[in-house]
A and B are shown apart, each in its own frame.
Chain A
Amino acid sequence: MTLSQRIYRSSAWLLPAIAVAMALVLSFFIDPYLAFLGASWVIFGLLGLSLDIVWGRGGFLSLGQTAFFGLGGYLGAIAAVNFGPVIGNTLLPTLPIAALFGGLCAGVMGSLIFFARMGPLQATILSYTFTLLLWSVTQSLKFTVGDAVVGGDNGMSGIPGMVIGFGPDARALAPNGVFAVCVIVAALAYFATLALMRSTFGRVVDCIRLDIQKTELLGYDVRLVQVANMVWAGAVAGIAGGLFALWSNYLNPSLFSVQEALLPPIHVLVGGLGTLAGPFVGALTIGGLSFWLGGGAAGGQTTLILGVVLVLLVLFLRNGILGALDQLWRRFLPDPNAAARDAGEVRINVDDLDRILRDAEAQVGPAKPMETDQAYKQFGGVIPVNKVSRSFVPGRPMALIGPNGAGKSSYLKTCVGVYQPEGGQVTIGDIDVTNAPIFRRVRLGMGVKNQKPQVFGALSVYDNLWTAAYARTRDKAKASDVAGRILAMLGMTAQSGVEAQALSHGQQQWLDIGMVLCLAPRVVLLDEPAAGMTNEETRELSLLVRTLARHTTVVVVEHDMEFVRTLEGHVTVLHQGEVFAEGDIDSLRADERVLDIYLGRRQHV
C-alpha cells in the first residue's frame, strides 16, 4: 500500500486531527476579534455536522436542525444563568442539558416521522414548519425560570460567558480561550460521530440511505435506527446551541428564523454532503469569505447572497469542497473496482452450499412452513389476492406461476409484508405474522429476494454480505465467518473489495442471493430470480434452488416455464388472484384449462 493510499484511508480522522491541533496552536496567537468570529464559525460547523448526520448519512433532509439548536441553546442558557453563579463553571451545566434537550426534541420529531413512515417530502416539510412555528411562538413566549428571564421578542439577555474554573473567583474566558473551548468541544463531537458512523450502527444508517427496503429485509428495525440517528444529531445541534448561548451571551427568536435555518444546508453543501468534516469546512469558508469581503455592499445583503448561493450550490456543486477533493485524490489511487472486470461466470459449489445450509440448520433450527389462510388483498376494484389458502413446506421447490396480472407478485408481497392484507392470515411456523412489519418476519426466518437485484451499491461485496450476516448473528466474528463462507461459495472471493454497484447485473443477482443466504432463512421467497440471467446462470440458479429446498422452504414466483420445469417441484397456478390449478409441471402442461389461460383462449378468461 502506498503512502498516498494510507493517508487516504485514514484521512477522516488524521486531517481533522491536524486541523484541530493547528487551531489550538493558533488560538494563542490570533487577534481576539478573529478568535471571537472563529468561535462562531466552529459552532456553525457543529450545527452543520448535525444536519450532515441526518441528511448526508441518514438520507432525510431536516430543515429543523436550527430548532434543536435554538431549543438546546435556550434551555442550556437557563441552566447557565441558574447554576453558573453557584458552581462557577458554566460549561458543565449548560452543554449536557443542551445536548439532552436537543436530543429529546429531535427524538420526539424523529419518532413521529419514522414510526409513521412518512414520505421524505412530508418529513422535510414537517421539520421546516416546526422551525417556523417556533419562530412565531417564541416571539410572544415570556416566562421566568429561577433567575433566567425568557422575554419573548426581547430575547434572553444576561447569559454568562464560558467559565471553566470553579468557585466564586472563576472568571469568564477571553475570546481566544472561548475559541479554543469551541474547537475542543467540536472535535470531541466530530470524533465521537466518526466512531459512531464507522460502527455497525453507522453501517446500518448508510444502508438505510442506500436502500431502506433491503435494510429492513435483512431484519433490521430501520425505524429505531433512524430515530436513534436523529437523536444523536439533535444532541449535537443542542451542544452547538449551548456553546452559542455562552458565546453570544444573548439569545432571541431569530435563532428560529428562516435566514438562520438556511445556514446549515449551505454549510453542508459547500463542504460536502455526507463527509462529516465538510460542514466545518463549509462554515469556515462562508464565514471567512464574509469576513474578508467585509461589511460593505456585500455584507449588507447577506440574505440575498445566501439564497442565490444555495440555488447555485444545488445546481452546480453537488459534492462540495471535500467531495471534489475526494474525487481528485481517488484518481491517483488504484481503482478498487478493477477486479470486477475479471470476474468470470458464477459457479455454485454445491458441496459448500450444502455444508453452509447444514450449519445454518444446526444454528437456527429446522425449516419452517409458511401458510396463508384465505389471504385477501384489494386495491379499489381490483382484487389481486382473492382468498388464497396455500401451505408451503420444505423438501422441494414450490413454484407459483400464472399469466401476467394473475396476482403472483401481489401474493408474494402480502407474504413478505409489503402489503397488509384486508382479510385472512399469514403464518410462519406457528406464528401469526399477518400484520407484522417486514423485519419481524425476517427475524422469524423469512428470506426474500426481489425481482430486481437489491444490493448496497456503495458498499463492497464483502461488506454487503457481512451486513446481512450481522443482522442475524449480532456478532462481528460470526458475521465475518458466515460472510467469508458465502463469498467463497459464490466464487466471488476475488471481487471481495469491489463496490457492489460496479458488478454486472447478473453478479448483483448472485450477491443478493448470497445476502439472503447469510440470513440462514427458514423460508425463502424468490420473486422471478431468473429474470435477466443467461442460460448458464439460470442452470446454476436451478441447482441452487433445488439444493436450498432440501433444507428450507422455498417459494419461487416465476415466469420462465423452462426454469420451473428444471426445478422439479410442486407448482401452483394463480389466475385472477385465485388458485387455479396445482400439481407438478408435467401434469399442468397436459391440463387444457391451464393452457387456455396462458394462451388466452376464450372459455376461462
Chain B
Amino acid sequence: MEADFLATVLLSSLSSASILLIATIGLAVVFGLMGVINLAHGEFLMIGAYTALTATQAGVPYLLAIPIAVVVTMAIGALVEVLIISRLYGRIFDTMLATWGISIAFYQLAVLTFGTVSPGIGMPQISVKIGDYSLALYPLLMNVVALLILGFVYLLMTRSIYGMKARASIQVPEMARAIGISSARVNTMTFALGCGLAGFAGAVLLPIVPATPSMGFAFVIKAFLTVVVAGPVTLTGSAFAAIGLGGGASVTASFLTSVAGDAFFFIVTALLLWRFPLGISARWRRKL
C-alpha cells in the first residue's frame, strides 16, 4: 500500500516534470541560442492550444491538429521576430518588455475572441492501475513525448544546416558572419522554432490543460524559473532543471498544496541562483 502510493507519486511527478519540460523547451531554445527570454512564451502556448482546439472542433482529427498548431505559432513567431525583436538586438531589457507587451496583448485578444472559459477536449479515458491507485494514461504518455521532443531538438541542432548555423552564430558570432551566415535569418528561424515548440506544447497538453486565455500565466512561472536555473546549455541544462525542479515541486504539491509546490519551486530556484548566478550550466563545457 505504502509502496503503491510512493510509486504513484513518483510516476505522476515524473509526468509533471515531463510536462514542464515540454512546456519549457521552446523557451530554452530561444534563451540558449538568442540570449533573450521570450515573456510571451506562455501566450504562444495558449495560441497553440486554441489552434488545436479550433481545429478539432472543425472536425480535424486531434493528431493532425497538433502540426497545424505548430505551423500557426511558428508563423506568428516569425512575424513577431521580424517586426519587433529584430529591432531590439543587444537590448535585453527592452526585448523582455516588448515580449511582455505582446504577451498581455495576445492574452486580451484571446479573451475577446474566445471568452474566458472554453470546453476542453475529451481526454482518452484510459488509466493504469498500480495497486489500489489508478493513473491516467495520457500524462504518463507525456514522458515519451518529452523524450521525443528532446531527441528532435538534438537532431535538429546537430544534423540540420539550420542547427549548425544557429550554434555557430551563438558560439563565435563574428566568425559566423564572416563565413556568410546571416544571423538575422537564423534568429528569425530560432524564434519561430521556439514559438512553434510552445505551440506544440499547448496542443499536445490540450487533453490535460484546457485552453483558457490565462493558461499561459499558469505555465510561465515554472517555465521561466526552469530556464534561468538551467542556464545557457539548452537541452541538457533544461532537462536537468525540469526534472529536478518540476519533479520536486510535484512531489511537494502532492503532499501539500499546489501553491506550496509553486513556492517550493521559487525558493529552490532562488537558492540555486544564489549558488549559480548565471544558471547551473553556465560553466559547462558542452553547449547543447
Please give the residue numbers on chain A whose beta carbons come within 8 Å of chain B beta carbons, in ascending order: 55, 61, 63, 112, 116-122, 124-126, 128-130, 132-133, 136-137, 139-140, 258-259, 262, 265, 269, 301, 303-304, 306-311, 314-315, 380
Chain B residues in 8 Å Cβ range of A129:
220-221, 224-225, 266, 269
Query: Among the listed A122, A265, A307, which residue makes an inter-chain contact with B278, where contact means beta carbons less than 8 Å apart?
Result: A122
CA distance A265 to B104 in the complex (A): 14
- B97 and A126 contacting across the interface, CB-CB below 8 Å: no
Q: List 30 A-B contacts (CB under 8 A).
A: A61-B96, A61-B97, A63-B100, A112-B274, A116-B275, A118-B278, A119-B277, A119-B278, A121-B36, A122-B277, A122-B278, A124-B37, A125-B225, A125-B227, A128-B39, A128-B224, A129-B220, A129-B221, A129-B269, A133-B263, A258-B107, A262-B100, A303-B105, A303-B108, A307-B101, A310-B101, A314-B88, A314-B97, A314-B98, A315-B98
CB of B105 within 8 A of CB of A311, answer yes
Task: Compute how far the CA of A303 lies from the CA of B106 in the bound complex, rounded to whole angstroms.
Answer: 10
Cβ-based interface call for B6 (8 A) = no
Q: Are A303 and B228 in contact (CB under 8 A)?
A: no
Q: Is there an interface contact between B104 and A259, defined as CB atoms closer than 8 Å?
A: yes
Contact A116 B273, beta carbon cutoff 8 Å: yes
CA distance A137 to B96 in the complex (A): 24
| B7: A residues at CB distance < 8 A | none
Question: Across the interface, do A136 and B262 meet the contact criterion of CB distance under 8 Å?
Answer: yes
A contact residues around B257 at 8 Å (CB)? 140
With a CB–CB cut-off of 8 A, which chain A residues contact B278?
118-119, 122
Chain A nearest CB, measured from B4 CB (Å): 30
- Residue-wise, chain B 96-127 has the 8 Å CB interface mask toward A (1 for contact) of 11101111111111001000000000000000
Task: Give every chain B residue within 8 A of A315 (Cβ-Cβ).
Answer: 84, 87-88, 98
Give the complex CA separation of A136 and B261 in angstroms.
11
Distance of A117 Cα from B227 Cα, bound (Å): 18
* Residues B224 and A125 in contact, CB atoms below 8 Å apart: yes
Q: Is A126 within 8 A of B269, CB to CB?
A: yes
Query: A252–B127 Cα gap in the complex (Å)?
Result: 40
Whether B279 sits at the interface, judged by CB under 8 Å, is yes
**Inter-subunit contact B277/A140 (CB<8 Å):** no
B259 contacts which of A117, A132, A137, A306 (Cβ < 8 Å)? A137
Contacts A116-B274, A122-B277, A304-B108 known; 9 new A-B pairs at CB < 8 A: A118-B278, A124-B93, A139-B259, A140-B259, A306-B104, A310-B98, A311-B84, A314-B88, A314-B94
Q: Chain A residues near B285 (CB, 8 Å)?
A: 380
When chains A and B are docked, how far (Å) is the Cα of A95 from the Cα of B97? 31
Tell me the bound Cα distance from A137 to B285 in angstroms: 38
What are the 9 closest A-B residue pairs judged by CB atoms, nearest first?
A: A310-B101, A307-B105, A307-B104, A304-B108, A311-B101, A118-B277, A303-B108, A61-B93, A307-B101
Q: Please determine whether A121 and B92 come into contact, CB atoms closer than 8 angstroms.
A: yes
Query: Given the complex of chains A and B, what is the CA–CA distance between A249 and B84 in angstroms?
Result: 41
Query: Which chain A residues lie closer than 8 Å to B104 at the CB level?
Result: 258-259, 262, 303-304, 306-307, 310
Verify B84–A301 contact, CB threshold 8 A.
no
A136 to B94, CA, bound (A): 26
Q: Which residues of A contact B97 (CB under 8 A)?
A: 61, 265, 269, 310, 314
Alpha-carbon gap, A308 to B80, bound state (A):
13
How many angstroms between the C-alpha atoms of A311 and B101 in the bound complex? 5
Contacts of A380 in B (CB 8 A): 285
User: How far is the CB of B147 from the nearest CB of chain A, in Å?
Assistant: 27
**B: number of interface residues (CB 8 Å):** 45
Contacts of A125 in B (CB 8 A): 37, 224-225, 227-228
Q: What CA separation (Å) do A301 and B109 show in the bound complex?
A: 9
Look across to chain B and name the residue whose beta carbon is closest to the beta carbon of A114. Answer: B277
Q: How many CB-defined contacts (below 8 Å) exist between A and B? A: 125
- From B220, which residue of chain A is reached at the shortest CB distance? A132
CB of B154 closer than 8 Å to a CB of A: no
Whether A307 lies near B103 (C-beta < 8 A) is: yes
Contacts of B266 in A (CB 8 A): 129-130, 133
Cα–Cα, bound, A133→B88 (Å): 28
Which one, B93, B96, B273, contacts A126 given CB within 8 A? B273
For the complex, would chain A's binding face be called helix, strand, loop or mixed by DSSP majority? Answer: helix
B242–chain A nearest beta-carbon distance, Å: 15
Given A122-B228, A126-B228, are A303 and B107 neighbors across the interface (CB < 8 Å)?
Answer: yes
Instruction: State how many angstroms separate the Cβ of B33 from the closest Cβ of chain A.
Output: 14
Interface contact B109-A304, CB-CB below 8 Å: yes
Q: Nearest A residue to B97 by beta-carbon distance?
A: A314
Q: Which residues of A contact B101 (CB under 8 A)?
A: 262, 306-311, 314
- The yes or no answer to B217 lying at the interface (CB within 8 A) is yes
Whole-angstrom distance from the CB of B49 to the nearest CB of chain A?
18
Q: Is B209's CB within 8 Å of the partner chain A?
A: no
- Chain B residues whose C-beta falls within 8 Å of the C-beta of A126 in the assembled complex: 225, 228, 269-270, 273
CB distance from B272 to the nearest CB of A (A): 10
Which residues does chain B contribute within 8 Å of A262, judged by CB atoms?
100-101, 104
- Say yes or no: A258 contacts B105, CB within 8 Å: no
- Smallest Cβ-Cβ distance to B94: which chain A residue: A314
Q: Which residues of A contact B98 (CB under 8 A)?
A: 310-311, 314-315
A133 and B93 within 8 A (CB) = no
Quick one: which of A122, A310, A380 has the most chain B CB within 10 A?
A122
Chain B, Cβ-Cβ closest to A119: B278
In the bound complex, CA of A258 to CA of B217 (Å): 9
Are A132 and B94 in contact, CB atoms less than 8 angstroms apart? no
Q: Which residues of A contact B106 (CB under 8 A)?
A: 307
Residues of B within 8 A of A128 (CB): 39, 224
**Contacting residues of chain B (25-61) with chain A, CB-CB under 8 angstroms:** 35-37, 39
- Please give the distance in Å from A142's CB to the nearest CB on chain B: 12
Give, as a whole number of angstroms, the nearest-CB distance from A110 to chain B.
12
Q: Which residues of A contact B228 (CB under 8 A)?
A: 121-122, 125-126
Q: How far is the CB of B106 from chain A (nearest CB, A)?
A: 8
Question: How far does the alpha carbon of A88 sit from the alpha carbon of B105 in the complex, in Å?
Answer: 44
B258 to chain A, nearest CB (A): 9
Contact B279 A133 (CB under 8 A): no
8 Å CB interface, B225-259 against A: 225, 227-228, 257, 259
Q: Is the CB of A311 within 8 A of B102?
A: yes
Chain B: minimal CB distance from A57 (Å): 14
Q: Cβ of A132: which chain B residues have Cβ within 8 Å of it?
A: 217, 220-221
> Would you give the shortest CB distance from A91 to chain B, in whole angstroms?
33
B220–A308 contact, CB under 8 A?
A: no
B6 to chain A, nearest CB (A): 27
Contact of A307 among B36, B102, B221 (CB under 8 A): B102
Interfacial chain A residues near B108, Cβ < 8 Å: 301, 303-304, 307
Q: How many Å lie between the Cα of A552 and that of B224 in the bound state?
A: 50
Expressed in whole angstroms, the Cα–Cα distance for A74 and B105 within the complex equals 29
Which chain A residues lie closer than 8 Å to B107 at the CB level? 258, 303, 307
**Taking each of B35, B93, B101, B262, which has the highest tally of chain A beta carbons within 10 Å of its own beta carbon?**
B101
B92 in complex: contacting residue of A63, A120, A304, CB < 8 Å: A120
Cα–Cα, bound, A310→B94 (Å): 10
Which of A140, A301, A314 has the most chain B CB atoms closer than 10 A to its own CB? A314
Which residues of B from 72 to 101 have beta carbons under 8 Å from A? Answer: 84, 87-88, 92-94, 96-98, 100-101
Least Cβ distance of A131 to chain B in Å?
10
Residues of A within 8 A of B262 (CB): 133, 136-137
**B206–chain A nearest beta-carbon distance, Å:** 22
**B36 to chain A: which residues have CB within 8 Å?**
121
Report whether A121 and B37 are in contact in the complex, using a CB–CB cutoff of 8 Å: yes
Chain A residues in 8 Å Cβ range of B105:
303-304, 307-308, 311
Report A-chain residues with C-beta under 8 Å of the C-beta of B87.
Answer: 315
Cβ distance A509 to chain B, nearest Cβ, rounded Å:
25
Task: Please give me the residue from chain A that is nearest to B91 by CB atom.
Answer: A314
| B residues in contact with A311, CB < 8 Å | 84, 98, 101-102, 105
Complex: chain B residue closest to A381, CB-CB: B285
Report A263 CB to chain B, min CB distance, Å: 11
CB closest residue in chain B, given A115 = B274
The residue that B279 contacts in the complex, of A61, A122, A124, A269, with Cβ under 8 A, is A122
Contacts of A306 in B (CB 8 A): 101, 104
